[in-house]
Structure 1
Amino acid sequence: MDCNQYIWKSLEDEDSIYQHINERYSLMNDNSDIINQDLGIIDDKTESITIEIDFQKETNKSDKKKKKVTKSLSNYTIELKQSLTSLKSNVNGNSTTGFVVWQSTRFFLNWLLNHNGLSFLDWNNKQYSFIELGTGVNCSNSIILSNYSKDYFISTDQKGILNKLEENSRNNLNEIQIYNKTCKYLSETQIKDGNVQTKEKFFISKSLKKNEFLLDLSYQNLFHYEIEHLDWCDNITYDSFIICHGTMIKAIDSKLVVLAVDVIYNEFLIMPFLKTLKKLLSFKPSSEALVVLQLRDESIILDFLFEALELGIYVQTIDDAGSELIIGCSRHAIYKLSLIHPL
Structure 2
Amino acid sequence: MAFKLWSLDEETLYEHVFERYMQLEAQCRELPQDLGIQDKSSGVLELAIEPLGVEASKKKKRVRRRNKDDYHVRVEQSISSLHSSRDNDNSTTGYVVWSTTPFFINWLLYSASAAPFRLGTQVEVVHGPSCEGHMLDLPKLINLSGTDRSKRGILELGAGISGILPVVLGNFVDVYVSTDQRGILNKLKHNTLENLSQLTRRQCVSRTLRLEPPPTTPSETATLELPSKPTLDLEVTALDWEKINLRDETTHSLHLELSLLGRTSSSVYVLAMDVIYNEYLIDPFLKTLEQLKYCFQSTYNLKFHAVVGLHLRSQDVTTLFLERAVIEHDLAVYDIVDQAIQESRFNFYLIT
Superposition TM-score tier, normalisation by shorter sequence: 0.7 to 0.9
Alignment partner, residue 170 of structure 1: 193
Name which of 308, 325, 328 aligns with 1:291: 308
The 1-side partners of 2:165 and 2:65 are apart by: 26
Q: Is the contact made by 1:178 and 1:200 (CA closer than 8 Å) also made in structure 2?
A: no
- 1:71–1:274: structure 2 CA closer, same or farther, 3 Å change rule? closer
Name which of 145, 156, 159 aligns with 1:132: 156
SS of residue in 2 equivalent to 1:147? helix
| Superposed CA offset, 1:117-160 (max 9, x none) | 541323353553100000001111111111121x2001000111
- 1:246–1:53: structure 2 CA closer, same or farther, 3 Å change rule? closer
For the pair 1:18 / 2:18, whether they are aligned, the reply is no
For the pair 1:313 / 2:325, whether they are aligned, the reply is no
Alignment partner, residue 238 of structure 2: 229
SS of residue in 2 equivalent to 1:284? helix
For the pair 1:282 / 2:299, whether they are aligned, the reply is no
Q: Is the contact made by 1:174 and 1:180 (CA closer than 8 Å) also made in structure 2?
A: no
| Superposed CA offset, 1:262-308 (max 9, x none) | 00001110000111111112111202100010010001111111111
| Superposed CA offset, 1:70-98 (max 9, x none) | 85753110110001111111225241000
The 1-side partners of 2:115 and 2:65 are apart by: 17
Q: TM-score, normalised by structure 1?
A: 0.79
For the pair 1:156 / 2:157, whether they are aligned, the reply is no
Q: Is the contact made by 1:293 and 1:333 (CA closer than 8 Å) also made in structure 2?
A: yes
Name which of 261, 278, 284 aligns with 1:266: 278
Number of corresponding residues: 295
SS of residue in 1 equivalent to 2:89? coil
What residue ranges of structure 1 are gaps of 5+ in the alignment? 57-68, 204-222, 339-343
Greater Cα shift, 311-320 or 242-251: 242-251
Alignment partner, residue 215 of structure 2: 188
Alignment partner, residue 9 of structure 1: 6
Q: Is the contact made by 1:153 and 1:226 (CA closer than 8 Å) also made in structure 2?
A: yes
SS of residue in 2 equivalent to 1:86? helix
Alignment partner, residue 142 of structure 1: 166
Q: Is the contact made by 2:171 and 2:202 (CA closer than 8 Å) also made in structure 1?
A: no
Q: Is the contact made by 1:54 and 1:73 (CA closer than 8 Å) also made in structure 2?
A: no
| Residue identity in the other structure for 1:227 | V
The 2-side partners of 1:314 and 1:70 are apart by: 32
For residues 66-85 of structure 1, what are the structure 2 equivalents within 5 Å?
A: 73-85=68-80
Alignment partner, residue 254 of structure 2: 242
Greater Cα shift, 293-302 or 123-132: 123-132
For residues 93-104 of structure 1, what are the structure 2 equivalents within 5 Å?
A: 93-104=89-100
SS of residue in 1 equivalent to 2:171? coil
The 2-side partners of 1:32 and 1:251 are apart by: 47
| Residue identity in the other structure for 2:80 | T
CA drift at 1:186 = 5.3
For the pair 1:31 / 2:23, whether they are aligned, the reply is no
Q: Is the contact made by 2:239 and 2:254 (CA closer than 8 Å) also made in structure 1?
A: no
| Superposed CA offset, 1:211-265 (max 9, x none) | xxxxxxxxxxxx2101101111112699433332232222123211000000000
- 1:144–1:187: structure 2 CA closer, same or farther, 3 Å change rule? closer
SS of residue in 2 equivalent to 1:93? helix
- 1:181–1:136: structure 2 CA closer, same or farther, 3 Å change rule? closer
- 1:104–1:253: structure 2 CA closer, same or farther, 3 Å change rule? closer
CA RMSD of aligned residues (A): 2.7
What residue ranges of structure 2 are gaps of 5+ in the alignment? 53-63, 119-140, 145-149, 206-211, 298-302
Q: TM-score, normalised by structure 2?
A: 0.77
Name which of 316, 321, 330 aligns with 1:304: 321
The 1-side partners of 2:201 and 2:310 are apart by: 29
